[in-house]
Amino acid sequence: MRNGRAAAATTRRQPSHAAAMFAGRGRAPGSRLPRARGRSCSQADQGHASEDKTAFMFSSGVERKAFILKHVKAENANRFGAYKDMADFRKCFAKAKHIVVISGAGISAESGVPTFRGEGGYWRKWKAQDLATPQAFARNPSQVWEFYHYRREVVQSKEPNAGHLAIAECQARLHRQGRQVVVITQNIDELHRKAGTRNLLEIHGSLFKTRCTSCGVVAENYKSPICPALSGKGAPDPQTQDAGIPVEKLPRCEEAGCGGLLRPHVVWFGENLDPAILEEVDKELALCDLCLVVGTSSVVYPAAMFAPQVSARGVPVAEFNTETTPATNRFRFHFQGPCGTTLPEALAPHETETVS
């Protein structure tokens, strides 16, 4: 299946220029001025040297003021992070033929899905990193299944928010125009699917798929509860005692003659992503001419390198998040605020689009 284990040498897949790209953030003395943001998205950065020499040779104060404002805007973008001009982003959006959206936990948090990150990121007294590992499952499969049963039950009660819906609507609309929108998500909640997104790569798997530890069969599973023994179990309160469910009563494979123990079909800490899905990701990143980074902290690898890799070859990247991230200064655009507020405006039909 596409959404599963990963390539053993994920770091070897990262282009060598990516590491160098993060080596220095500042602009060296004497280097060229940053790209003027008012240009078209595909236009190369050129002509700054001659512009610098003629900066104070304009025939009117208006021209001089416009020139200075342009470079102040570019310098501010370079100093304080990505550029925040929605109108300029919309020009890029109108021209794009192959858009890639990379989404993370932030977009689903707006639907009420727990992120299990930060100070409040605990289930009982455990962090997700303590439970979402092969070692934890081997040591205490009952406890791990309680954790995932809780997550499944929570997610089944949630609905896609305006951000999910804006992406799905944009994808369907642009498809009718012969343009592509591909969503690469780190989320395992399937809210993109629930919103109607079709061209979707779930690189970390899904809460609603299981994998047999004996025969390896991957299957969809939307049962609630996933097995009788987990009914009413999984409460996140720190005082709750583990249920200690016997392993034979945990979810079991339904393939004829198997009956092996099932595990969630998600990528756990310490596991690699499926090389087949990484190949698909590489293909989409190579084709894209506009990239959106939505609700992701840009710290989980290898996904953290996807957008910087695209940006390094000159493709416009727009970050949508409630806060800046370690990668913000590497992107052309940054729109701060809830994805459910910023995305509908960013992805709305452009005046140049043909009505279909």
Catalytic positions: 204
Is there a binding annotation on residue 329?
Answer: no
Is 253 labelled as part of a ligand binding site? yes
221 appears as a binding residue in the annotation: no
Known binding residue 224? Answer is: no
Kindly report the backbone phi and psi dihedral angles of residue 61, in degrees, each rounded to the nearest multiple of 5, phi listed first: -65, -30
Is 301 among the annotated ligand-binding positions? no
Sign of CA dihedral 285, 289, 294, 297: positive
> Which amino acid is located at 178 in the chain?
G
Q: How far apart are CA 292 and CA 335, in angstroms?
A: 11
β-partners of residue 187 are none
Please state, in angstroms and rounded to a whole number, the distance separating the CA atoms of residues 302 and 203.
Answer: 10
How far is Cα of residue 332 from the mean position of the Cα atoms in its chain?
A: 17
Question: Is residue 211 marked as binding?
Answer: no
Tell me the residue length of the chain. Answer: 356
Tell me: is residue 39 an annotated ligand-binding position.
Answer: no
170 is in an annotated binding site: no
End-to-end CA distance of the chain: 35
Is 202 marked as a binding-site residue? no
Question: Checking DSSP bridges between strand 290-294 and strand 317-321, what pairing results, if any?
Answer: parallel
The rounded distance, in Å, linking the Cα atoms of 74 and 58 is 20
Q: Are 331 and 311 in contact (CB under 8 A)?
A: yes
Residue 297, annotated ligand binder? Answer: yes
- Ligand-binding site membership of 161 (annotated): no
User: CA-CA distance, 277 to 281, in Å (whole number)?
Assistant: 6
**Annotated binding residue 229:** no
Helix/strand/coil for 251? coil
| Residue 91 structure tokens | 């020009």
Residue 215 annotated as lining a ligand binding site? yes
Helices (H) and strands (E) in the chain, counts: 14, 11
**Which class for 21: exposed (0-12), middle (13-18), buried (19 or more C-beta within 10 A)?**
middle
41 is in an annotated binding site: no
114 is in an annotated binding site: yes
In this structure, are residues 32 and 45 in contact, taking their beta carbons and an 8 Å threshold? yes
288 among annotated binding-site residues: no
User: How does DSSP classify residue 332?
Assistant: S
What DSSP line would sit under 70-81, residue for residue? HHHHHHHHHHHS
Known binding residue 105? Answer is: yes
The answer to the question of whether 103 is labelled as a binding residue is no
- Is 110 known as a binding-site position? yes
Residue ranges for the known binding site are 104-123, 148, 151, 186-189, 212, 215, 253, 258, 295-297, 321-323, 339
Residue ranges for the known binding site for substrate are 148, 151
Residue ranges for the known binding site for NAD(+) are 104-123, 186-189, 295-297, 321-323, 339
Residue ranges for the known binding site for Zn(2+) are 212, 215, 253, 258
